[in-house]
Amino acid sequence: MFFRFNKVSRRARLLLGFASLFLISSLFIQGKNEGSYFEISKNLDIYATLFKELNTYYVDPIEPGKLSKIGIDAMLNSLDPYTNYITESDIEDYEFQTTGKYGGIGATMRRIGESTLVGDVYEGSPAQKAGLHPGDEVISIDGHTLKGRRVDEVSTLLKGSPGTQVNILVKDAYTGTEENRMVTRGEIELSSVPFAGLIGTGNNVAFVRLTQFTPGCANQVREALDSLKAVQPNLSAVVLDLRNNPGGLLDEAVSMCNLFIDRDQLVVSTHGKMQDWDKDFKTQSTPWNLNIPLAVLVNHSSASASEIVAGTMQDLDRGIIIGERSYGKGLVQTTRPLGYNARLKLTTARYYTPSGRCIQALDYTHRNADGSVGRVPDSLKKMYKTKNGRTVLSGGGVDPDVYVSSPEISRIAIALYARNYIFDYTTQYVRKHLQLQDATHFSLTPAEWDAFTKWLEGKDYAYKTATEVALDSLQQTASREKYYDAAKPEFAALRTKLSHDKKQDLQKNQKQVKEMLESEIISRYYFLRGRIAYSLRSDEDVEKALVLLLKPTQYDALLHPKP
């Protein structure tokens, strides 16, 4: 095979060479006959020629790197959403997703109108030590004005090697003065265990929230449980909260299971095209506790490694699963180096829980005609048995043993949050209350709630109810089918009758909006741990877990069904 490079830039030649090497290496893994070799060789030649023609004759200059990435992304998107091309510039973000570490100041940014404001400040971070707090307006960074910059551009300016300094000009949210803050960047590591505490009427149930399966997270959970046991030697049960946990490292999922099951126990098996990925993963360490009652909380956003833990605890009848059906990601990814500091993250195997089931919900190998992906139909789901003989199903996530639906967020609550009114009012509240003495029982007084509703007067937080959205859709359909003109008066009357009053909606959804506001206020003083502690006051999943864990008869009945 050869390529012609008339007038092709050096950068383009490097990219083409890189693409060629990548595809050729794939050839030796996948193509083991002459037909496969010819097909890849032919398409490589077409790709190189096409790139050359574009570079030579296209009316405007092209960006070879950008164009290649668009093509590669489109190719990989046709496989599954987890197979991704990671460029050198994206490596840092990828590392943060997998390790929870990055070099920076430890604060998020948010855009409100034309201003860039400090969002969350992480506890103990360089940002907190430098005196930054949520609501501060960031005017410039190292002399670079932020006018017109996107939030991701601002974040890039703030990131850097630990030990380096960044000069941030801010307008203090509480004093209104402009000040230069010299912040020394550090290695920011977000803990995968942001909260662990004792709950229940007797404070004898350990609650641990795990947000991601990063390196060492199983040890973090073990240490958290040890600390709680030191405070309360007579622990009655454990609640492991995996809600909204997107997963992470498979090895850490195995180690997490090992906290509650004995060593040398099969947790998960993987099977892929390459024989190297046909593996059994077993526990290897001494468990933390083999017998303590356990509840694992999951929801629709619990995925991957979270599902391995939940599925294993369910298959081995080691604990009860409470909440909603999990996401349904039964695929395993690994990364491969591509050269030039780029990487390919690709799906290499499917995983199977101890009963033998794969919980993958979407079938990417059989797409619909429009390219969409369907869920595995119930008719194709297979039945498996847990250790005690309970029936579990494959192909749709982990079904909880006890279903608890998540509360629906009202439209008005979404509108107030999206328009930053919850955030803005909290800044005003904290400006007047520099301390919050009793975070555990904090609640806005009726007078404080009235002050919030008065502050909202005249502000734009228009939104449409679900009924109004449905009516809009019906009207569009009627117009398309030529029925609308005849029914126009009826549509107008119905729209008038259905039109909502924002003040009335605010009072009707007072409990939910008030909880959002109280949570935001508490987070300003006690960070994420305070927000989580507050949420446990009215957490239906946790309440259900406590009821079952503290009633051995009901707990055992779920795990040991009658013949």
Give 418-477 pLDDT, tens digit per residue. 999 999 999 999 999 988 887 788 999 999 999 999 999 988 888 888 888 899 999 999
**Residues contacting 397, CB < 8 A, separation 6+:** 307, 325, 326, 327, 328, 359, 361
- Residue indicated by tokens 């958290």: 224
| Residue 24 confidence (pLDDT) above 50 | no
Q: Where are the alpha helices (DSSP H) in 120-202?
A: 126-129, 151-158
Amino acid sitting at position 539: D
d(CA 131, CA 297): 36
- DSSP state at residue 438: -
CA-to-CA distance for 560 and 429, rounded, in angstroms? 52
**SS3 at position 178:** strand
Give the DSSP letter of residue 248: B
Band of pLDDT at residue 33, cut at 50, 70 and 90: low
Average pLDDT value for residue range 35-49: 85
Name the residue with tokens 């030579």: 56
Whether the pLDDT of residue 207 is over 70: the answer is: yes
Asked if 212 and 246 touch (Cβ cutoff 8 Å), the reply is yes
pLDDT surpassing 80 at residue 28? no
pLDDT in tens, 378-418: 888 899 999 999 999 998 899 999 999 988 999 999 999 99
Residue 269 phi, psi (nearest 5):
-120, 145
The answer to whether residues 531 and 522 touch, using CB atoms and an 8 Å cutoff, is: yes
The pair of structure tokens assigned to 156 is 């890039």
Per residue in 164-193, pLDDT (tens digit) is 999 999 999 999 999 999 999 999 999 999
User: What percent of the chain has pLDDT above 90?
Assistant: 73
Rg (CA), the chain: 28
CA distance 252 to 221: 11
Tell me how crowded residue 426 is: count the other CB atoms within 10 A of its CB: 23
513-528: pLDDT as tens digits: 999 999 999 999 999 9
* Phi-psi label, residue 287: left if phi above 0, alpha if psi -120 to 50, beta otherwise: beta
DSSP designation for 213: B
Q: What's the rounded Cα separation, in Å, for the pair 491 and 390?
A: 52
Q: Over 70: is that where the pLDDT of 6 sits?
A: no
**Mean pLDDT of the 523-537 span:** 95
Q: Which of 161, 125, 167 is nearest to 143 (CA)?
A: 167
What pLDDT score does 34 carry? Answer: 57
Supply the pLDDT for residue 26: 46
Q: Which residue(s) pair with 373 in the sheet? A: none
* 261 phi-psi bin (left φ>0, alpha ψ -120 to 50, beta other): beta
In the predicted structure, residue 40 carries a pLDDT above the cut 90: no
Angstrom distance (rounded) from CA 33 to CA 126: 58
User: What is the tens place of the pLDDT at every residue in 352-388?
Assistant: 999 999 999 998 988 888 888 888 888 888 999 999 9
Average pLDDT on 88-109 reads 87
If you ran DSSP here, which 8-state letter would residue 379 be given? Answer: G
Count of residues making up the chain: 563
Residue 127: how many other CB atoms lie within 10 Å: 26
Q: What is the pLDDT of residues 469-491, one digit of tens each?
A: 899 999 999 999 999 999 999 99
Residue 562, pLDDT score = 78
Q: Per-residue pLDDT averaged across 147-172, rounded?
A: 94
> CB neighbours (10 Å) of residue 461?
17
**CA–CA separation, 320 and 545 (whole Å):** 9
Three-state secondary structure of 387-403:
CCCCEEECCCCCCCCEE
Mean pLDDT of the chain: 90
Q: If DSSP codes are grouped into helix, strand and coil, which group holds residue 309?
A: helix
